[in-house]
Amino acid sequence: MDEQLKGERMCCHVRGLVSLLGRVFLVLIFLMSAVGNKIPNFEGTAAYMASEGMPMPKVMLAGGIVFLIVGGLSVLLGLGARVGAVMLGVFLFLATYYFHDFWNFEPEQQEMQMIAFMKNLALFGAMMFIFANGAGAWSVDGLLKKVLGGKGSCKKDKEESKAAIDL
């Protein structure tokens, strides 16, 4: 086997593994938030949401749980990952606006709220990245594209890298 082809194939496998692990680590916070906190503490969470001025807190909480689970699984599996990223982005935007408005907190609470705000901002950036670029290698979207006759992600990445170098 040609050394360059062997290197490209290995690079493709590494990219696939890293892409999959990145999606797993990224969505854990969303899935655990829904399954480990919001669902088992539904009434308490809805009451807290109401106290923070969230309109229709039970409806919004139910919708938030759906967005967390469906969006999280979508990004995790790489199945409609762009739609899943938008769902998680909407959740992040609303959660940040209603619950991490650090400028409205007492000085002793502002630092922790600013950290939560910045964490959500970083996660929102990750959702924008997925929306712009898709789920990456080892995703259901990538597999479907390959099966339906599209180019494989590694060949596409190689072409995009060459185009970027030519700029």
What's the total number of domains in the chain?
1
**CA dihedral angle for residue 102, residue 103, residue 109, residue 113, rounded to 10 degrees:** 10
What is the rounded distance in angstroms from the CA atom of residue 33 to the CA atom of residue 66? 12
What is the per-residue pLDDT for 4?
67
Domain that holds residue 139: 3-166
What is the per-residue pLDDT for 164?
42
What is the per-residue pLDDT for 137?
86
What is the per-residue pLDDT for 87?
98
What is the per-residue pLDDT for 163?
44
Query: Across the chain, which distance is largest between two alpha carbons, in Å?
Result: 65
Q: What global pTM score does this model have? A: 0.83
What is the rounded distance in angstroms from the CA atom of residue 90 to the CA atom of residue 95? 9
DSSP H helical ranges for the chain: 3-33, 42-51, 57-77, 81-99, 107-133, 140-147, 153-166
What is the rounded distance in angstroms from the CA atom of residue 143 to the CA atom of residue 140? 5
Give the closest residue to 154 by CA, choosing from 2, 3, 14, 1. 14
3 burial type by CB count under 10 A (0-12 exposed, 13-18 middle, 19+ buried): exposed
pLDDT < 50: residue spans in the chain: 160-167
What is the per-residue pLDDT for 146?
84
What is the per-residue pLDDT for 11?
84
